[in-house]
Amino acid sequence: MRSKISGTEARPRLSVYKSNRGIYAQLIDDEAEKTILGISSLSLKGTPAARAKALGEKMGEEAKKKGIKDVVFDRGGFLYAGSVQIFADSARSSGLKF
């Protein structure tokens, strides 16, 4: 997947990792090999679905503050279902375009 998905400064890669403890998301500029923004759901309370939704909203808000609107979504090999889908939908509703 990494050979097909790459982020730039204008359109960074939104990488998602899901573990048993939480969800982690990063905005990455692959050309400069630099992480622009990284957040996790470890400090959030609630069900996994509620934490995924809150994390997506937070990612959208933080990306807006940095002037980022368009991203390339990298689901990291996880199925586009459950927490990953909820995160993506909530990030889209906060203003990010995939």
Q: Is residue 84 a contact partner of residue 19, using CB atoms and an 8 Å limit? A: no
Average pLDDT of the chain is: 92
pLDDT tens digits along 10-32: 899 999 999 999 999 999 999 99
CATH architecture of the domain formed by 13-93 = 2-Layer Sandwich (3.30)
| pLDDT for the residue 2 | 59
Helices vs strands, H then E, count in the chain? 2, 4
Domain boundaries of the chain, sorted by first residue: 13-93
